[in-house]
Chains A and B, each alone.
Chain A
């Protein structure tokens, strides 16, 4: 272990399902390939199977018969967590209360039999990297939430794991600190080029951190993609609804045109009797001039300083939300048109 960090492992899940003893199906058979050094975010509401997936990768749960977990191509399905060389960060941090900060960080090295001088030196390096070396001798109950989070991360990284697993690591913190630490974790994971799997129910965290996002629902994958793909081209209503605000217009496709109560729009799609057009509030351009494709009436305007949020309704009563530059003066009852960028809409 002379190099400063072990290169991240490639992780593959093959047909991993999980049925608990009481018969609850937590996970449908799942296939997943994670590239070395990639940060993969498992996103979804509680009970969607994201934590179970993480625990199967960690070795804290074993998949149902037939499921396989591979680290760099080697089958580790039967290997318990203590032999997998993974780093894990828990929502509750799970710091050992009977040990000081530096003892916590050095613990993984201690149980590996690393000599005291070397393990203290290495723990010191990690503490320095996390900029908490001043806290080394503190007791855990003397730390703030953000400091505990850093210690938990330092402890997981000190053993130079092949993969780091983070289970809702920021959920217990307040919003401002959460955003700050999110940026810090992002920088750290990229600098170390370690494979990371990050579980969260917070779409903002997922979009900011992930190289790829796996959106999960009812124990199955709803969509895998880059944050942009997930955000701008959600695979279905569930993904669209879970990741940010989405507008949807019901209509039909005829002759390369999407026809709806608000008007018609050129699209590249085969004819369909029933289709839904989905787009994000900030992807639509507001055009006050008449004659654009889709026509709406302004219901409400919420001025927000730099931007304004405009609530619109079409002739058939279907409603959409969009964001407009603050300079455009609008009032309830105005007739407006919207223009949509064809690359940033989804027809489902």
Chain B
């Protein structure tokens, strides 16, 4: 950065970010802005290099430099233990997504259709979990379903024995659902409120039952929001670590395995390979959903 007109560091990020939003016509009308854009290509390149490419390249290099060489990249599939962890993580994330969406749709439909005193306070309260880190969510799951938990106490009083599920996949599922629900709910609530109530009334006038209205009108109407918020819930569950770490170390999810590989086993190559796999899968799901919901949106008009 020796050019006389090199901008001060602080403005770098701002200008590189705002540049792509210039409409082409305007850029053409202002050749000086065009020149400015080229000038900022360098800082943009440096930014991408420093925060994006370098760590990725390093991760790939570390993964391939272990005792297994390039085979390490496939460890997730070839190592039976890792493969089991992958499947468990995928199932857990899918379950989290399904449960969160199911609860989200029901609650969003109720809140979107009814008006009652204290409603805005309730909606604000429902977004509270967003404020907690994974550790706190894990702690809350233990308070609820742990050995001294509320649910265990209740089931014991009812003579069904002490129900404890905090330290298992079920506890993790509860924690993830709790954590993902606010985001899903806010997105779905906005979608439900945007739906024309006349659509539902029209379907009913034609003889559709409540279930048919849900299937044919409401779910297709909020499909793009279901896709988007479901993808976020899935991605969050795939990578979440704090809750799993708080609940139990013997829960095998990818994030936990990566942690144990490089802290306890000092197996950097394995941890790096698993990280790449986790990143690719999550990114793939997000990208696929974006494409799919994009098509849906276009088809629905």
Contact = CB atoms under 8 A, between A and B. Distances in A.
Interface of A: 58, 60, 80-83, 85-88, 90-92, 94-99, 107-108, 111-112, 139-141, 155-156, 159, 165
A111 B208 contact: yes
Given A92-B198, A107-B216, A98 B208 contact: no
B196 interface: yes
B300 A81 contact: no
B12 interface: no
B199 A94 contact: yes
A107 B301 contact: no
A107 B299 contact: no
Nearest to A105: B206
B227 to A, nearest CB: 14
A253 B209 CA distance: 62
Contact of B206 (A98, A139, A155): A155
Interface string B108-142: 00000000000000000000000000000000000
Contacts of B208: 82, 107, 111
B201 A82 contact: no
Nearest to B215: A111
23 contacts: A80-B204, A81-B201, A81-B204, A82-B207, A82-B208, A87-B205, A88-B201, A90-B201, A91-B198, A92-B198, A94-B199, A96-B217, A98-B220, A107-B208, A108-B206, A108-B207, A111-B206, A111-B208, A111-B209, A155-B202, A156-B206, A159-B206, A165-B205
Interface string B216-234: 1100110100000000000
Nearest to B296: A98
Contacts of B199: 94, 96
| Listed residue (B196, B203, B204) with the most chain A CB atoms within 10 angstroms of its CB | B204
A141 B298 CA distance: 10
Contact of B212 (A94, A99, A111): A111
A152 to B, nearest CB: 8
Contacts of A94: 196, 198-199, 201-202
A156 B204 CA distance: 11
Contacts of A81: 201, 204-205
Nearest to A86: B205
A81 B208 CA distance: 9
Nearest to A87: B205
Contacts of B217: 96
B220 A111 contact: no
Interface string B281-301: 000000000000000000111
Nearest to A107: B206
Contacts of A88: 201-202, 205
A122 to B, nearest CB: 13
B299 A139 contact: yes
Contacts of A82: 204-209
Nearest to A158: B206
Contact of B207 (A85, A92, A96, A98): A85
Contacts of A155: 202, 206
B221 A98 contact: yes
A54 to B, nearest CB: 11
A98 B205 contact: no
Given A81-B205, A85-B207, A98 B198 contact: no
B198 A90 contact: yes
Nearest to B217: A96
Interface string B186-212: 000000000010110111111111001
Interface in B254-301: 299-301
Contacts of A95: 202
A60 B223 CA distance: 26
Contact of B300 (A98, A107, A156): A98
Q: Which 3 A-B pairs have the closest CB atoms?
A: A141-B301, A108-B206, A94-B198
Contacts of A107: 203, 206, 208, 216
Contacts of A91: 198
Contacts of A98: 216, 220-221, 223, 299-300
A35 B203 CA distance: 27
A296 B118 CA distance: 65
A107 B209 CA distance: 12
Given A108-B206, A141-B301, A60 B216 contact: no
A85 B207 CA distance: 7
Given A92-B196, A111-B212, A97 B207 contact: no
B205 A58 contact: yes
A150 to B, nearest CB: 15
B301 A139 contact: yes
Contacts of B207: 82-83, 85, 108, 111-112, 159
B203 to A, nearest CB: 7
A80 B201 CA distance: 11
A140 B301 CA distance: 8
A156 B221 contact: no
B298 to A, nearest CB: 9
Contacts of B203: 96, 107, 111
B295 to A, nearest CB: 12
Contacts of A83: 207
Nearest to A155: B206
A140 B221 CA distance: 14
B239 to A, nearest CB: 33
A103 to B, nearest CB: 10
Contacts of A159: 206-207
